[in-house]
């Protein structure tokens, strides 16, 4: 969870499958009472917004939180003063009711279909519609005179799908990848509704902005470190090595190890290989590149002629 630096005791986060999404900080200047973080959006994933109050957060007034996704207010949970520090609070989606039946439309990340090469002029209202896309905003307000309303009926909210978006309509450098959609309504537990007045002239006392993008878009924005470019071993001079990242150095070491393994394997294969040369007269196989000196000497001795000596026994044949 992100702890608000200007409001001790207040935390908020975006949660998918009971796991808090990893938050990235680009450390840019933001307005007072505001926190900005980046999170990864996964296509089709349903998410919730969690928030928590703890000491030393004041507990003398009720608090409401307006959830705004892509520029549209979709939920406003209210927490009574006595319940502030009791548990983690959550907004699962947009709440509506028909009589005594209550419904929730859960938040979900939907991938944008961005079309390239469209040279037609983009209407101004399309650009305005896209401008807030990619941001989940949480505004926290102190309330006065909170009282239950048992007759209130809240209509179902809708978020129009963007459809195919022209690349020209996307603000340069925005790196949009997803939008928020609402799932089909499903029944939920009964919800209490309240009427109240905003304190402090209706100004929020704290604001959180969660900018959501795909991991590729986060890398394009340099929010998440990019994968290091592979280095050629021939380029690895001392200066290059000194300025390389840890990931690049690990790649160099891995390549050197693979090269050493290949050389060792080739040495073993050469040592284990044995060439056998048979008798050409028997096998009828001749190898012009193989010279067997011993075999030639034996053949020369086999056909050598000489006169008998005194030590030889001569047998005359009839």
Q: What is the pLDDT of residues 116-144, one digit of tens each?
A: 765 666 677 777 888 899 999 999 999 99
pLDDT at 88 over 70: yes
Phi, psi of 251 (to 5 degrees): -65, -40
| Stronger pLDDT, 253 or 1, i.e. the higher one | 1
DSSP state of 119: -
This model's pTM is above 0.85: no
* HSE-CB of 172 using CA atoms within 13 angstroms: 0
* Section 286-307 average pLDDT: 48
Percent of the chain with pLDDT over 70: 74
pLDDT at 268 over 50: yes
Question: Which secondary-structure segment (H or E) carries 180?
Answer: strand 178-182
- Sorted by where each begins, the domain ranges of the chain are 2-220, 233-271
Q: What is the pLDDT of residues 188-197, one digit of tens each?
A: 988 889 999 9
Give me the count of residues in the chain.
318
Where are the strands (E) in 4-151, listed by range? Answer: 10-16, 19-20, 34-40, 46-53, 63-69, 72-75, 78-79, 89-91, 93-98, 101-111, 113-115, 135-148
């Amino acid at each position: 969870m992100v702890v608000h630096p200007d409001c001790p005791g207040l935390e908020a986060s975006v949660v998918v499958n009971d796991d808090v999404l990893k938050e990235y900080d680009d450390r840019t200047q933001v307005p007072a009472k505001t926190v900005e973080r980046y999170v990864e959006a996964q296509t089709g994933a349903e998410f919730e917004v969690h928030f928590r109050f703890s000491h030393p957060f004041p507990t003398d007034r009720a608090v409401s939180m307006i959830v705004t996704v892509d520029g549209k207010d979709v939920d406003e949970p209210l927490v009574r003063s006595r319940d502030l520090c009791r548990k983690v609070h959550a907004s699962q989606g947009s709440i509506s009711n028909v009589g005594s039946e209550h419904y929730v439309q859960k938040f979900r990340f939907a991938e944008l279909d961005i079309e390239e090469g469209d040279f037609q002029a983009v209407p101004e209202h399309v650009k305005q519609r896209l401008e807030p896309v990619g941001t989940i905003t949480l505004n926290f307000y102190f309330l006065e005179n909170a009282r239950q309303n048992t007759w209130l009926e809240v209509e179902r909210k809708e978020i129009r799908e963007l459809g195919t978006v022209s690349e020209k309509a996307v603000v340069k450098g925005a790196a949009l990848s997803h939008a928020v959609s609402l799932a089909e309504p499903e029944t939920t537990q009964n919800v209490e509704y309240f009427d109240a007045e905003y304190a402090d002239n209706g100004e929020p006392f704290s604001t959180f902005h969660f900018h959501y993008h795909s991991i590729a878009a986060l890398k394009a924005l340099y929010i998440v470190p990019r994968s290091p470019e592979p280095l050629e071993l021939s380029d690895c001079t001392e200066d290059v090595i000194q300025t390389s990242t840890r990931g690049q150095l690990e790649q160099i070491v891995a390549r050197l190890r693979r090269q050493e393994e290949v050389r060792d394997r080739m040495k073993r294969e050469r040592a284990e290989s044995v060439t056998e040369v048979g008798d050409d007269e028997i096998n009828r196989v001749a190898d012009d590149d193989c010279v067997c000196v011993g075999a030639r000497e034996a053949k020369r001795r086999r056909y050598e002629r000489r006169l008998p000596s005194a030590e030889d026994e001569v047998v005359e044949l009839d």
